[in-house]
Each structure stands twice: as C-alpha cells, then as structure tokens.
C-alpha cells in the first residue's frame, strides 16, 4: 500500500506531501480542483510517458515520489525478474527535468520506463472513469475470468508456446519463399556454375598465362633477336666478348706497373665472366624457344574464356571469378538442402502448434469451470447494488485461431430486468449499470488479485440514493482487504471513509495552485454537508452529514 505521496512542480501543484493510511481513503473536491492531476501524477509514476508540459515551472525539476509498504504481497520475485532491488519499504520516483528529459528510480536505483510498467500493475490499480468502457472489451472480460480461475501460469505458458509456434510458422514461410526463389533461378545458376567449373580457374595465374601467350605469339621475333644478340657477343673479330678479351690482354701487360692498372684488369676480367654467363643464358633461351601453334591456340583460348567470364560477371580478376564460383556452388548446395530444412521446419511448427493447442484447450476448460461461481457472485453483488434481476451469460466459444489471450471467443451477455432478453453487454447496459457491474467486478477481483492499492475515480457516476449507499458499503468491505482510495462526489461514499482528503485550488497574486489537506472531523461534516446541499450549509444538511458519518 502507499504510505506517502510527494508531488512537486507538476501541472498546478507546487508541493504536496501527504501520508496515506490503509482502509478507505476518500478524496473530494470541486470539479476542476485538480483531483485528476493526482491520477496523472500516479500514472507517470507507474510508467506513463511524460508530457513536455508536465512541469508547472518549466525551469525547475518536476518530482513525483511514492513510498510503498509491500512486505506481505510476495513481490520480490517480480522485482528480481525485472532486475530491480526489492525492499519491503519500496520507493518509486519519477523526475522530469527542464527540457523534458525523464528519469525513473526504484529504491534510488535508475530504471527504465519498461521496468516501471512491469511492476506498476502489481502496486496500484487505477480505475479511471473511461476504464468502465473497457468492461466491453473481450480481453478485459477474459482477464476477469482468468483472475478467478487462477490461470496466470497457464496463460503465460500458452503465450510462450504461441510465440514459438508463430516464430516457427514465420521461419517455415521464409524457407518456402527462399526455395521458390532458388528453384526459379536454379537452372540459370547451374549454367553459370558449370561454365566457371569448365574454365578450371583454381590455381590459374592470369599474369603468367598472359606472359606465356606473349612468348608463344612472338616466338620467331624472340628467336631472331636472341640469335643476333649471341652473334654480337662472339662474332670474330669484332664481337663484344672477343673485344673484351683483347682489352684484358692489353691490361694484363700493364697491371704490374701500378695498382690502378691491376684494378682495371680485375674489373674487365669480372665483366668478361658476366658476359660469358650472359651469353650462355641467351643461347639457352634461344634453344628453349619453339614455335608451338597448338600451345599458342590453347593458351589464347583459355585467356579468351577468362576475359569473357570477367566481362560477363563484371569483375577484373580470376580470384573474383573463383569467389563467384564458390557462391554459386554454395547456393546450389543450399537449394539441394532446403527441402530437408523445410521438412524439419514443418515438424517444429507442428510440434509447437500441438503444444499451444493442448495448453489453450486446458485454459478454456479452466475458464469454463470458473464461470458459474463468477456469474453467481456477480449476480449476488449486483443484487446489493440495486440490480436484483440482473442476469449474465458468459458465452465462451472455441475457435481455431491462436489469439494472444487463447483460442476462446467470449461474448458477455447481460440483462438488467426480469423477463428481458439477454444481449451483448456493450449494447444493452446503461452507464449507471456499467458502473455498478464494474464495481462488482473490482470487488471480486480485489480478492483474487491480492492488490495492495486500488483507486476508484468516480466509479459511482450515474448512481445515487440507496444504490450509492450500497456502493459505499461494498467499498467499505473491500477496504478491509486492501488500501482503497475513492474520488467521489457522493456524500454516502464520502462518509464511509476512514480517511478524508480534500483537493482544492488556491489563488495567489500571480498564480493558481492545487492543494490537498487531510480533513478533521468537523471539516468532514462541513465537506459532506456541502456535497449534500451546496455552498450554503443548512442545518438539515449538517444534520444529515453527521448522520451519515455516524
């Protein structure tokens, strides 16, 4: 339950701090005084996205903080599951900084909005005025049955299995699409792969191949050039080598006269050795050159094939062609194995579908088993709330669709009057009847959900007189099991509170602010009397207020 609420710099509120107690706390105030601002602040605290205009003074930080006593609600596993520190005395804080940036904390540790949203519903259930319309929602109606049937674990199991089934179905569909696309391109890809494989590209050195082609293609010119070069080396009497040897002889006669002549002789001797070696190499090269038309043809054909493939695949190297060949080979292999993958995917989809179906069937059975007791209790409570002839029919029908809430379709049929035909709740129930039905449902759910705090925002709309009194009695009973806060305009309900807070506006010279205060016994009498008879407090209104309070 909430033990303390602090709101600073939020909308019309400058600074409100209020200690909260168990039981039934009544919140009253004139229309427009700011009661809805309190709910807005609590909604922010529970993870609602912040409005940039939330701060009263945009230059200051907006802070909303609530302290909770939750020792007896077994919420530690929930906190641990969402990676938050648990404390029996837990503090939630939301800050909106100047500029609109928002921060959230649980027990002074930073958390995300998703974490706040995960624990919020287990701390406070806020029933706003528009939530009565959710009574017409099939999801809400099934959740109501599930709370009574205690099916939270099986619902979670079904949703997990359903998710796995949907994932398996998506994966199967993707594989089938890939197979269709693969088969569509298979023939052409096989042609391309065969073409690359026939070219035998692995280990091919394109530069070396082109060099071989140039040799073969110019063999005559190369042979002629090498022969003439060899002749220039050894031609008598004017060959390069012969002339060098004559020069060496001349220097041999001079080498004894001075060291520089000796050095000159050594140098030309080295040149002659190099020239003799070069001559031998040129002779060998000339002998190796042969005119081989077949080799020239084969080399040219291989190069032409490589060039054509490079042009076809828009690449410039043999390595890139080999990479494309590998990709095509892998694609061909995948096409061949897709059938097996699809078979496995079909099996997985079937397994998860079967599991989800079994769990959904069990869920439906538990729901059907819980409906009679829920229906009986609802009718009994509505009898107390002035609908003694109320009738319900929970028409639960099995479908073959895997919905998020199960495989059941629910239509809640209702009649408020004896002898009237039952019809869909959303079509036949009036606003006042919907308020009373929601009140009865909340009373039932409060026992099953073990909620720490429940807040009613004018759930009594559309009722008055004896019905209001019965609503007040029901709220009083509910507050014995939980902390209940009720925003109300009805004196019968206001009088049942163990605590009474009043929200009011206060005007200063420059601004209007919303304030809240705890009413004393005398102030409660005046407040309830005003709710009965208006601003001019009559003796009869005061007497009636005292009677209600007593």
Q: What is the pLDDT of residues 12-56, one digit of tens each?
A: 888 999 999 999 999 998 887 788 888 889 989 988 888 767 888
Tokens of 214: 């140039």
**Cis omega (within 30 of 0) for bond into 237:** yes
Q: What is the pLDDT of residues 375-399, one digit of tens each?
A: 999 999 999 888 999 999 999 999 9
- Predicted pLDDT at 546: 92
What's the CA dihedral at 125, 127, 131, 133 to 10 degrees?
120
> Does the pLDDT at position 141 exceed 80?
yes
Return the sign of the alpha-carbon dihedral for residues 395, 147, 118, 154.
Answer: negative
According to DSSP, the β-strands at 423-424 and 109-111 are unpaired
Longest dimension (CA), the chain: 155
Q: How confident is the model at residue 318 (pLDDT cuts 50, 70, 90)?
A: confident
Mean pLDDT is lowest, of 128-142, 335-349, 422-436, 534-548, for 128-142
Q: What is the rounded distance in angstroms from the CA atom of residue 345 to the CA atom of residue 350?
A: 8
Q: What is the rounded distance in angstroms from the CA atom of residue 50 to the CA atom of residue 40?
A: 10
Q: Which pTM value belongs to this model?
A: 0.66
Q: In 10 A of CB 324, how many CB atoms?
A: 18
Q: Greater confidence, 191 or 356?
A: 356
- Predicted pLDDT at 290: 66
Q: What is the pLDDT of residues 441-481, one digit of tens each?
A: 888 888 887 778 999 888 877 777 888 889 899 999 988 88
72, with CB counted inside 10 A (0-12, 13-18, 19+), is exposed
- Predicted pLDDT at 131: 67
Averaged pLDDT for residues 395-420: 91
119 within 8 A of 75, measured Cβ to Cβ: yes
- Predicted pLDDT at 408: 93
Q: Please give the domain boundaries of the chain with CATH numbers for all domains.
A: 1-123+452-519 (3.40.50.300), 180-336 (no CATH), 522-550 (no CATH)
User: What phi and psi, each to the nearest 5 degrees, are found at residue 51?
Assistant: -85, 135
CA nearest to 124, candidates 5, 9, 13: 5
Q: Greater confidence, 185 or 507?
A: 507
> Does the pLDDT at position 529 exceed 70?
yes
12 within 8 A of 57, measured Cβ to Cβ: no
Averaged pLDDT for residues 236-259: 76
**Which residues share a beta bridge with 4?**
19, 67
The SS3 assignment for 307 reads helix
Q: How confident is the model at residue 538 (pLDDT cuts 50, 70, 90)?
A: confident
């Amino acid at each position: 339950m909430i033990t303390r609420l602090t709101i600073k710099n939020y909308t019309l509120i400058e600074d409100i701090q209020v200690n909260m107690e168990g039981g039934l706390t009544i919140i009253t105030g004139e229309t427009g005084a700011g009661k809805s601002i309190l709910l807005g602040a609590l909604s922010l605290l529970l993870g609602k996205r912040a409005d940039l205009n939330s701060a009263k003074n945009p230059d200051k930080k907006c802070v909303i903080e609530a302290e909770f006593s939750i020792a007896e609600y077994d919420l530690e596993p929930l906190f641990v599951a969402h990676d938050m520190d648990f404390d029996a005395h837990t503090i939630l804080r939301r800050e909106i900084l100047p500029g609109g940036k928002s921060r959230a904390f649980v027990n002074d540790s930073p958390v995300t909005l998703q974490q706040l949203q995960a624990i919020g519903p287990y701390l406070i259930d806020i029933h706003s005025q528009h939530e009565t319309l959710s009574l017409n929602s099939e999801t809400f109606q099934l959740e109501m049955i599930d709370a009574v049937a205690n099916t939270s674990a099986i619902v979670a199991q079904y949703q997990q299995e359903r998710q796995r089934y949907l994932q398996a179905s998506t994966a199967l569909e993707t594989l089938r699409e890939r197979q269709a696309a693969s088969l569509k391109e298979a023939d052409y890809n096989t042609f391309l792969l065969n073409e690359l494989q026939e070219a035998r590209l692995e280990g091919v050195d394109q530069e070396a191949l082109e060099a071989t082609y140039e040799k073969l293609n110019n063999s005559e010119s190369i042979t002629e050039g090498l022969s003439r070069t060899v002749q220039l080396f050894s031609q008598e009497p004017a060959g390069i080598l012969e002339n060098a040897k004559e020069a060496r002889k001349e220097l041999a006669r001079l080498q004894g006269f001075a060291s520089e002549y000796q050095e000159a002789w050594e140098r030309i001797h080295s040149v002659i050795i190099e020239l003799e070696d070069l001559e031998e190499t040129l002779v060998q090269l000339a002998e190796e050159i042969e005119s081989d038309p077949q080799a020239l043809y084969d080399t040219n054909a291989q190069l032409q094939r490589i060039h054509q493939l490079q042009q076809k695949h828009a690449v410039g190297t043999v390595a890139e062609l080999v990479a494309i060949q590998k990709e095509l080979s892998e694609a061909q292999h995948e096409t061949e194995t897709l059938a097996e993958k699809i078979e496995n995917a079909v099996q997985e989809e079937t397994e998860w579908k079967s599991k989800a179906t079994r769990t959904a069937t069990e869920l439906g059975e538990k729901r059907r088993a819980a409906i009679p007791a829920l229906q009986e209790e609802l009718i009994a409570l509505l009898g107390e709330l002035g609908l003694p002839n109320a009738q319900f029919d929970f028409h639960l029908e099995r479908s073959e669709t895997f919905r998020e809430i199960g495989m059941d379709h629910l239509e809640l049929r209702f009649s408020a009057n004896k002898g009237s035909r039952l019809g869909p709740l959303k079509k036949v129930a009036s606003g006042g009847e919907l308020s009373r039905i929601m009140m009865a449902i909340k009373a039932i759910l409060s026992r099953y959900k073990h909620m720490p705090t429940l807040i009613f925002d004018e759930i009594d709309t559309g009722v008055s007189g004896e019905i209001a009194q019965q609503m007040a009695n029901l709220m009083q009973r509910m507050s014995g099991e939980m902390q209940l806060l009720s925003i109300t305009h009805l004196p019968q309900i206001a009088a049942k509170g163990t605590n009474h807070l009043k929200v009011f506006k206060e005007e200063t010279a420059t601004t209007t602010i919303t304030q809240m205060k705890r009413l004393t016994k005398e102030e409660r009498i005046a407040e309830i009397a005003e709710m009965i008879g208006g601003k001019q407090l009559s003796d009869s209104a005061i007497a009636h207020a005292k009677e209600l309070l007593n």
